[in-house]
Amino acid sequence: MYLSALSIRNFRQFGDLTPGFVIHFNQGVTALVGENDAGKTAVIDAIRHVLQTRDSDFLRLELEDFHVTGNGEPTTDITLVCTLSGLSTLELGAFAEYVTFSGGEGLLHVHWSARRLALPTASRRWVDIQVRCGARGEGPALDVGARQLLATAYLKPLRVAMACWLRSSPWGSRVSGD
């Protein structure tokens, strides 16, 4: 299976377009290339929110992740949709209750939505996050076990990985020239 499409609505610099900012991916290796502040990190983080990662870093949703409209107000909802294609027979079985069939192909649409709550609660919960399946996000909620099967390997940018290694390695000061 592979990520074939990502739709982003009201997340960071991507506003309230219908159906949202949509990027299509080919099967195999994909590279995101663009100028600074073009949205490359937002695309990667959107995928990380929807599919989760296997690393120990927890990606927390922040108020700054909500798109700010032209009048300076943050939006109240974010919608991220990952479409996974090319599911094997084994994967079709594992995700049977979540798969949508279109043109004879089984697709897995994972809708991740976040809605800011109007009033802060005593539990400090300020956002409601839901993860559902189906072509329009009207299918069943994706359970924890299924989400773990979808978890991806996130490789940090090389500059970040190198900085972490230099800080933690006993040889780091020799390599960095300090």
Q: What pLDDT is stored for residue 150 in this prediction?
A: 92
Q: What pLDDT is stored for residue 171 in this prediction?
A: 58
pTM here is 0.84
Q: What is the pLDDT along the chain (178 residues), one digit of tens a residue?
A: 999 999 999 999 999 877 679 999 999 888 888 898 888 999 999 999 999 888 767 789 999 999 999 899 889 999 999 999 999 999 999 999 999 999 999 999 999 999 998 766 566 778 999 999 999 999 999 998 999 999 888 877 766 666 776 777 665 555 554 4
Q: What pLDDT is stored for residue 142 in this prediction?
A: 93
Q: What is the pLDDT of residues 136-146, one digit of tens each?
A: 999 999 998 99
Domains defined for the chain, CATH in brackets:
2-176 (3.40.50)
Q: What pLDDT is stored for residue 136 in this prediction?
A: 93
Q: What pLDDT is stored for residue 166 in this prediction?
A: 73
Q: What is the pLDDT of residues 15-43, one digit of tens each?
A: 987 767 999 999 988 888 889 888 899 99
Got the DSSP string for the chain?
-EEEEEEEESBTTB-S-SS-EEEE--SS-------TTSSHHHHHHHHHHHH-BSSS------GGGBPB-TTSPBPSEEEEEEEEE---HHHHHHTTTT-EEETTEEEEEEEEEEEE-SS--TT---EEEEEEESTTS-SPBPPHHHHHHH-B--PPPHHHHHHHHHHH-TTHHHHHT-
